[in-house]
């Protein structure tokens, strides 16, 4: 039983393309997140949704558009991909106290 | 924003050795977590520990919130403990949970 699952695990694409990553959690949490881990392994929050509403947007370029169809799902769509978007993107969800649980990550490589 | 510093940045241990990882943070927090990122990239939640002491098998953690630091103890280390250990904290000012991560301690356990 995977608690936070994301697909696909790997994406390889050309600059300028559009790609999406899907995330689902079966923990019953109200809050979901997208984090980005760069090549130096630094982790930074991108977005947070609480019960389908956007509550945190960390000045991410508007080429990145998250969508939460319901509180168990949070998808990430990226338009016009750039080389600097290459990273590992982690979905997460949290309990009301903020305790965070991560998905397995989606490694995006832009060529 | 809040600063999170972890030490040491790198650590090599012989299997069976004990170690202590440290996390210092610059402000009062209401959430502190330790994560292990294994060599396959998975981020595993080790402890939710905004204060006090917890133990889980060979791992234990202590947070002294008034002095703004947390310690992660690894006893009788095994090769499977290798990976990066992250400390992450959250101020929770009411704008949603937003964990700020340290830069991690890279641990390698050798036979």
In contact, B85 and B109? CB cutoff 8 Å: no
Q: Which of A44, A98, A105 sits opposite B90 (nearest CB)?
A: A98
The predicted pLDDT at position B78 comes to: 97
Cβ-Cβ contacts under 8 Å for B96 (sequence gap 6 or more): A31, A48, A50, A55, A56
Q: Which of A43, A50, A100 sits opposite B45 (nearest CB)?
A: A100
Backbone angles phi, psi at B8, to 5 degrees: -75, 165
Average pLDDT on A11-35 reads 96
Indicate yes or no: CB of A105 within 8 angstroms of CB of B96: no
A36-50 burial, b if ≥16 CB within 10 A, otherwise e?
A: bbeeeeebebbbbbb
Q: Is the dihedral of CA A37, A39, A41, A44 positive or negative?
A: negative
Encode chain B (111 residues) as per-residue pLDDT tens digits. Answer: 889 999 999 999 999 999 999 999 999 888 999 999 999 999 999 999 999 999 999 999 999 999 999 999 999 999 999 999 999 999 765 556 789 999 999 999 999
The predicted pLDDT at position B94 comes to: 57
Model confidence at A39, pLDDT cuts 50, 70, 90, reads very high
- Token pair listed for A7: 């697909």
Task: State whether residue B76 sits within 8 Å of chain A by CB.
Answer: no
Residue A34 predicted with pLDDT over 60: yes
| pLDDT tens string A42-78 | 999 999 999 889 988 887 899 999 999 999 999 999 9
Please tell me the distance from the alpha carbon of residue A55 to that of residue A75, in angstroms, as a whole number: 15
Model confidence at A12, pLDDT cuts 50, 70, 90, reads very high
The predicted pLDDT at position A1 comes to: 67
Indicate yes or no: CB of B97 within 8 angstroms of CB of A48: yes
Q: Which of B44, B92, B101 sits opposite A43 (nearest CB)?
A: B101
Residue A2 predicted with pLDDT over 90: no
- Token pair listed for B95: 């704008």
Q: Which residue of B has its CA nearest to A54?
A: B96
Q: Quickly list DSSP for chain A.
A: --SEEEE-SEEEE-TT--EEEEEEE-S--SEEEEEEE-TT--EEEEEEEETTEEEEE-S--TTEEEEEEETTEEEEEE-S--GGG-EEEEEEEE-TT--EEE---EEEEE-
């Amino acid at each position: 039983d995977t608690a936070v699952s994301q697909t696909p695990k790997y994406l390889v694409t050309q600059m300028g393309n559009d790609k999406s990553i899907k995330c689902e959690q079966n923990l019953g949490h109200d809050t979901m997140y997208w984090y980005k881990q760069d090549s130096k392994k630094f982790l930074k929050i991108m977005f947070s949704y609480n019960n389908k509403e956007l509550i945190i947007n960390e000045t991410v370029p508007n080429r990145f558009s998250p969508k939460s169809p319901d509180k168990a799902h949070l998808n990430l769509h990226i338009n016009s991909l750039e080389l600097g978007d290459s990273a590992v993107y982690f979905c997460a969800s949290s309990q009301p106290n903020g305790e965070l649980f991560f998905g397995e990550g989606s490694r995006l490589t832009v060529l | 924003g809040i600063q999170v510093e972890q030490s040491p940045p790198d650590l090599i241990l012989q299997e069976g050795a004990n170690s202590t990882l440290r996390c210092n943070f610059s402000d009062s927090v209401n959430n502190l977590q330790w994560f292990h990122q294994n060599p396959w990239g998975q981020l595993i939640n080790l402890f939710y520990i905004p204060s006090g002491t917890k133990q889980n098998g060979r791992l234990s953690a202590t947070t002294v919130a008034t002095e703004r630091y947390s310690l992660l103890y690894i006893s009788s280390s095994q090769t499977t403990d290798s990976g990066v250990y992250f400390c992450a904290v959250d101020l929770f000012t009411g704008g949603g949970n937003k964990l700020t991560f340290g830069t991690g301690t890279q641990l390698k356990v050798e036979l």
